[in-house]
Amino acid sequence: MAAILERDDSLELNQWNASVHKGIVELHGPMPGGIAPQHSATIKTFGAHITSYICRGEERLFMSPNAILDGTKPIRGGVPIVFPQFSQPDPKMAQHGFARTSTWKVIDLGHEDDVAYVILSLTSNAETMAIWPHAFQLIYTVRLSAESLETTLEIKNPGDSIFECHALLHTYIKQDISNICIKGFKGYSYLDKVCGGSLGTEEREFVTVHEGEVDRIYIVNPEQEPINALSILDSDGAKPRMLIKMDCMTSDHENGHHAVPLDCVLWNAGPARSAAIPDLGEGQYVHYVCIEPGRVSNYTKVEAGASFTIYNSLTPALPTVPLIRQLS
């Protein structure tokens, strides 16, 4: 395992790089002459929480201006990791579990040609055992390139008995929700948490989230293709803003590796709930949509020695060049 270095002032400014200092991992692209990088990501070891993703100089993740960043509460915005429970089926455990409020270890970081990466890990310990009595290891890899931010969360069972869990990447994407729609949910069933968990089927090709609170778990029926790609588009459905890819693999001794479908949660607090969530705040709902791939509609059973892996990537669309500039 690579030794983890504190910030190194001799870093090559012309290459991709990764560093960690006082619990904050910085991934970034080249900074010729020391200028701010065009591409960067910031990950806190508290929660292995991605708090910023900048692509071509623009922030792509929403962070609440009221987010609490002192480690006393989950961070509102960025990419919280939900594990081992989604919502609060076990009322004795915190909503969305403890991964987002645990301090993770950086086990590797570095760069390849055009990528900066970090790998963090959270392993069961006396504190987690007191809340959830299972041996587990989570391995979270974050890879930044000029095109995208890729995340992979592996949930491993190193113990000698089965456990069952939820896991999800609760991604807050920065967008003006009055101007966007999401393509890729049509035909899938969903559990509507706003309507008491009722079951519906998405009829819309272009799903909007600006009409009020939206809190749905889209689920894949056995005869359907998994949800592997969604796009955020301008509200007329013409211009792409971001491509989101996702998939899930399980791995065990008996069956080897095989793909399993992910659920995808779509959440926007809407005006009333936004105002009622103190670390979000009145009016903040207009600045984000949460698109959250995970395994949450049912528990995933993980046998001793087995694992499953959730992959997610965010690829902001290239800006369309105005015609006048193309011609000049």
Annotate 193-229 with three-state secondary structure.
HHHCCEEEECCCCEECCCCCCEEEEEECCCCCCCCCE
Q: How far is CA 191 from the centre of its chain?
A: 20
Q: Closest distance between ligand TA6 and the C-beta of residue 185, in Å? A: 15
Options 28, 115, 292, 295; binder of ligand TA6; rule CB under 6 A: 292
170 touching ligand TA6, by CB under 6 A: yes
Task: Please state, in angstroms and rounded to a whole number, the distance separating the CA atoms of residues 161 and 186.
Answer: 39
Give the residue with the Cβ less far from ligand TA6, 39 or 170: 170
Contact positions with ligand TA6 (CB under 6 A) in 93-152: 95-96
166 touching ligand TA6, by CB under 6 A: no
Options 134, 174, 193, 245; binder of ligand TA6; rule CB under 6 A: 193
Q: Which residue is nearest to ligand TA6 (CB)?
A: 267
Options 136, 172, 190, 267; binder of ligand TA6; rule CB under 6 A: 267
Pick from 231, 229, 220, 218: which is nearest to 261 by CA? 220
Structure tokens at 121: 């890990």
DSSP 294: E
Using CB under 6 A as the criterion, what x/- string covers residues 210-239 for binding ligand TA6?
-----x------------------------
Give the residue with the Cβ less far from ligand TA6, 87 or 179: 87
81, 49 contact by CB (below 8 A): yes
Alpha helices in the chain (DSSP H): 126-131, 270-276, 323-327
Options 15, 87, 179, 228; binder of ligand TA6; rule CB under 6 A: 87
74 touching ligand TA6, by CB under 6 A: yes
Task: Please state, in angstroms and rounded to a whole number, the distance separating the CA atoms of residues 280 and 63.
Answer: 9
- Dihedral angle sign, alpha carbons of residues 87, 298, 249, 303: positive
Q: Closest distance between ligand TA6 and the C-beta of residue 208, in Å? A: 17
Pick from 3, 12, 8: which is nearest to 113 by CA? 12
Structure tokens at 208: 């909007």
198 touching ligand TA6, by CB under 6 A: no
Q: Closest distance between ligand TA6 and the C-beta of residue 271, in Å? A: 15
Give the residue with the Cβ less far from ligand TA6, 47 or 184: 47
59, 175 contact by CB (below 8 A): no
66 touching ligand TA6, by CB under 6 A: no
Give the residue with the Cβ less far from ligand TA6, 167 or 290: 290
Look up residue 3 and give its amino acid.
A
Give the residue with the Cβ less far from ligand TA6, 194 or 229: 194
Give the residue with the Cβ less far from ligand TA6, 177 or 290: 290
Q: Closest distance between ligand TA6 and the C-beta of residue 1, in Å? A: 32
CA atoms within 13 A on the CB side of 113: 0
Give the residue with the Cβ less far from ligand TA6, 106 or 265: 265
The answer to whether the bond into 37 is cis (omega within 30° of 0) is: no
Residues forming the site for ligand TA6 (CB under 6 A): 74, 87, 95-96, 170, 193, 215, 265, 267, 290, 292
